Amino acid sequence: MSAAGVAPTAVVAGRPSRDIGITLTVAALWLLLALFVVYPLVMLFARMLGMLGGRGSVDFGALLALLTDRNQLRAFWNSLLLAFLVGTVGTLAGFLFAFTATRCRLPGAAVTAIDASVLLPLVSPPFTTAIAMIFSFGPRGLITYGVFGLKGYTVYGLGATLFSEALTYFPIAYLTLRPILTAIDSNIEGMAQSLGASRWRVFRTVTLPLTVPGIANAFLLLFAASLADFATPLILAGNSFPVLPTQAYLQITGLFDLRGGAALSFALLVPALIVFLLQRYWVSRRFYVTITGKGAGQTPFDSVSPGGRIVLIASVISITVVVAYFYALLLYASLVVALGANHTPTLAHYRVIFTDGWNAIRDTLIIAGFSMPLGGLYGILLGYLVTRHRFPGRRTMEAVSMMNYALPGTIVGIAYLIAFNDPPLVLTGTALIIIACYVFRYGPTGIRATVALLQQIDPSLEEASQGLGARSGTTFRRVTLPLIMPAFFAGLGIVFIRSMTAISATIFLVSISWTLITVKILEDITELSLGPAAAFSVLVVVIVFVVVAGISRVLREFRAPGAPGVSLFGG
């Protein structure tokens, strides 16, 4: 190789870049991250300390008073308790499903049915189960009032919120645990058995310990999801069980106290950040490599006794039935005049959402339509740069990009509200603020998919292209991009799903000119027009299902032979 020739390609993780295209892209990404991630959080912090909003001085007294207020303290502990319980119950249910799907020798159709039933909660707005809870157990609930004739019974409180959130979020645990259980080499379990261990002992001493990192991971994911969820408690927690995200929301929309809302949401940040760091940097290091090369058993280990199998399958079926019942009820409620009072079939609710609600539908689709490609592009660009190129601040860039994703939506929403309400950048009332929120909050899923995919692809492929004289732009387009297309579509899919279903951040960002279906559903619920709320929910589920099916199809098409796969929801 001549001195002027290609640099030696000994570096595996990446190479220092001198390419102008790379430098410009990095600079542009930093600018965007500074604007849409760092700046809002700084403004939130400043507002909380009271430096903005007219007073000009730090007012710790008022802040302290708010944060030590008995009600708010209770809300704080309630949030943690709820998150802990949702984490525990949801992980248990997820493990039950994953274990049954992987170890009970179920026929393929049964596994597909399980997958479909866990997909439903994943693709619907977070409070769909909450609406179904009200239909079933509310003041005129189908079960409490209709079946048992109870009057004045209230579901509202910890129990209902826990139930609804666990049902909504347990699929995350299922999706986390299933690949781990599948990946355990059945010979390892067979080995334990041949050494004399009973089925139960194999489970206790081999299967379970090997799954522990996954279980911890699932628990933390659910903990974070519950901590951030504000819609479910808003509907179901009632007055007796205040939680922080709802308190922050009420502080802002009810009392118009932006600073108080900022402070309350900030209190959420500490546990959320701890959980995120634990999950990212501690648990993820503890996974075992359980597949050890050629010869992994083709026959799954027979780990369940016939009796145990019946118990497992029965439990899975009962949970599936509950999920199916809730969604069937939602569909039914959208098709009758008033569930619980008048069961005459009608399409009136759909007429309402396509007339009065049309703006919300149109806005949501436009916003999702813009967020989707932008989020997908952002994901692969950033993911590619941080894994394949070395530039100053590369690790920091990755960490910063994860922030909006890791923080509860309430914090992000309030931060955007504060930051973009005043000059220099006034975005309040535009669609852009919502799109930016979605791109930077859900794009990171695409980043993680890209990073994971690129780590499995040998850098020598790209080095070969460079060795043939291609510039990094060409290499990216001709070699890397086709290989990471699956990550692009995975990122795209997640951004779309979230754009259709999310509410916790964007409820602070909607305006007269731009609103969202999810916000409309919430308004309908608070106005007790449950029929249209149900119809909206059904519509969202249908749209998301169709788009997800389409993207999954494209994902399969795009998977180059031999390239590692990426699933839309896994990981």
Partner 1 sequence: MSGTAMGVDVDRVSKRFAHRVKGEVYAARDVTLRVQPGEFLTLLGPSGCGKTTTLRMIAGFERPDAGRICFGNDDVTGVPANRRNIGFVFQNYALFPHLSIFENVAYGLRVRGEPEDAITRAVSDVLALVGLGAHEQQFPAQLSGGEQQRVALARAIVIRPRVLLFDEPLSNLDAKLRVQMRNEIRDLQRRLSITTIYVTHDQEEAMAVSDRIAVMNQGRVVQEGTAEDLYHRPATQFVAQFVGRVNLIAGVVQTINGRSATIAALGRAIVARPSPCDLIAGDSVQIALRPEAIAIAQTSAPGSLQATVLSSVFLGDKVEYLVRCGDETLQVARYNAGPTTPLAAGTAVGLSFAEDAVVVLRTSRESAT
Of 35 and 183, the one with the shorter C-beta distance to partner 1 is 183
The β-bridge partners of 569 are none
Using DSSP, state whether 50 is helix, strand or coil.
Answer: coil
Provide the minimum distance between the beta carbon of 295 and ligand ATP in the complex, in angstroms, as a whole number: 7
Of 290 and 359, the one with the shorter C-beta distance to partner 1 is 290
Of 208 and 542, the one with the shorter C-beta distance to partner 1 is 208
CA max distance for the chain: 89
Of 135 and 301, the one with the shorter C-beta distance to ligand ATP is 301
CB atoms near residue 86 (< 10 Å): 28
Residue numbers 398-417 binding partner 1 by CB under 8 A: none
Provide the minimum distance between the beta carbon of 501 and ligand ATP in the complex, in angstroms, as a whole number: 41
Nearest to 449 by CA among 405, 493, 486, 399: 486
Which of partner 1, ligand ATP, none sits in contact with 344, Cβ below 5 to 8 A by type? none
Binding mask 199-218 for partner 1 (x = CB under 8 A): --x---xx--xx--------
CB-side exposure of 259: number of CA atoms within 13 Å? Answer: 18
The answer to whether 83 and 270 are in contact (CB under 8 A) is no
Of 155 and 188, the one with the shorter C-beta distance to partner 1 is 188
Provide the minimum distance between the beta carbon of 110 and ligand ATP in the complex, in angstroms, as a whole number: 18
Residue 288 engages partner 1 in binding (rule: CB under 8 A): yes
Provide the minimum distance between the beta carbon of 304 and partner 1 in the complex, in angstroms, as a whole number: 13
Q: How many residues bind partner 1 (CB under 8 A)?
A: 27
Of 69 and 302, the one with the shorter C-beta distance to partner 1 is 302
Of 299 and 344, the one with the shorter C-beta distance to ligand ATP is 299
Q: CA 32 to CA 40: how far, in whole Å?
A: 12
CB-side exposure of 435: number of CA atoms within 13 Å? Answer: 19
Binding mask 295-334 for ligand ATP (x = CB under 6 A): ---xx-----------------------------------
- Selected binder of partner 1 within 181, 192, 272, 439 (CB under 8 A): 192
Q: Where are the beta strands (DSSP E) in 77-178?
A: none
Nearest to 414 by CA among 221, 232, 225, 245: 245
The answer to whether 266 and 408 are in contact (CB under 8 A) is no
| Chain residues in the site for ligand ATP (CB under 6 A) | 298-299
| Chain residues in the site for partner 1 (CB under 8 A) | 185, 187-188, 190-198, 201, 205-206, 209-210, 288-290, 292-296, 299, 302
